[in-house]
């Protein structure tokens, strides 16, 4: 299954589960992704990345949180009709020719 198919399935499920009964704006969707990132950092701080998550699924905490980040991101892409395959390929190809440690960031 390609990533755009996953995008559609993830977004359709979010709609089916009632998460789009009202308009969801970009800042709200971005904060949902941010919350999942924060949960990954929390698992790291607690030393639980490689432990089983607390849900009845067979995933470690790092696997679960990365999946949640990707699911939230794909949902947002679905909400706004983003062609994820095209966007990733285009940005990756752009990054190939960028200089080492581009952007002037120290870390």
Q: What residue ranges do the domains of the chain occupy?
A: 3-101
Please compute the mean of the pLDDT values over residues 18-35 and round it to a whole number.
Answer: 97
Contact between 91 and 102 under an 8 Å Cβ cutoff? The reply is no
Which phi and psi angles does 8 have, rounded to 5°?
A: -65, -45
Task: Indicate if the pLDDT at residue 28 is higher than 80.
Answer: yes
Question: What CATH fold (topology level) applies to the domain 3-101?
Answer: Helix Hairpins (1.10.287)
pTM for the predicted model, two decimal places: 0.89
Task: Indicate if the pLDDT at residue 107 is higher than 70.
Answer: no
| Mean pLDDT for the chain overall | 93
What pairs with residue 67 in β-bridges? none
d(CA 78, CA 64): 21
Least confident span in 84-88, 91-95, 97-101: 97-101
Please compute the mean of the pLDDT values over residues 39-65 and round it to a whole number.
Answer: 89
How far is the CA of 68 from the CAs of 2, 27, 73, 95, 102, in angstroms?
Answer: 18, 17, 8, 25, 29
């Amino acid at each position: 299954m390609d990533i755009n198919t996953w995008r559609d399935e993830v977004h359709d499920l979010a709609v089916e589960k009632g998460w789009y009964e009202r308009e969801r704006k970009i800042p709200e969707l971005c904060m949902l992704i941010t919350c999942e990132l924060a949960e990954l950092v929390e698992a790291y701080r607690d030393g639980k990345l490689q432990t089983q998550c607390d849900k009845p699924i067979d995933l470690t905490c790092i696997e679960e949180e990365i999946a949640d980040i990707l699911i939230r991101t794909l949902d947002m892409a679905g909400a706004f009709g983003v062609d994820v395959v095209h966007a990733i390929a285009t940005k990756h190809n752009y990054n190939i020719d960028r200089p080492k440690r581009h952007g002037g960031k120290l870390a």
